[in-house]
Amino acid sequence: MQHHPSLDLTRVKAFIFDVDGVLTDGSLLALASGEQVRSFHIKDGFAIRHAIQKGYRVAIISARQEEGVRKRLLSLDVEDIYLGVSNKLEAFGQFLTKYSLQPADIAYMGDDIPDLAVMQQCGVAACPEDAAPDVMWVANYISGKPGGKGAVRELIEAVLKMQGTW
CA-closest candidate to residue 143, choices 129, 133, 157: 129
Cα–Cα dist 44/112, whole Å: 19
Check the annotation: does 49 bind a ligand: yes
Which residues are paired to 161 by β-bridges? none
The number of beta carbons lying within 10 Å of the beta carbon of residue 31 is 9
Please provide the DSSP assignment of 53-71 as one string: HTT-EEEEE-S---HHHHH
Check the annotation: does 153 bind a ligand: no
Check the annotation: does 145 bind a ligand: no
Compute CA 16 distance to the chain's CA centroid, rounded to the nearest angstrom. 4
Check the annotation: does 72 bind a ligand: yes
Check the annotation: does 11 bind a ligand: no
Q: Binding-site residues, please?
A: 18, 20, 49, 64, 72, 88, 111
Q: Binding-site residues for substrate, please?
A: 20, 49, 64, 72, 88
Q: Binding-site residues for Mg(2+), please?
A: 18, 111
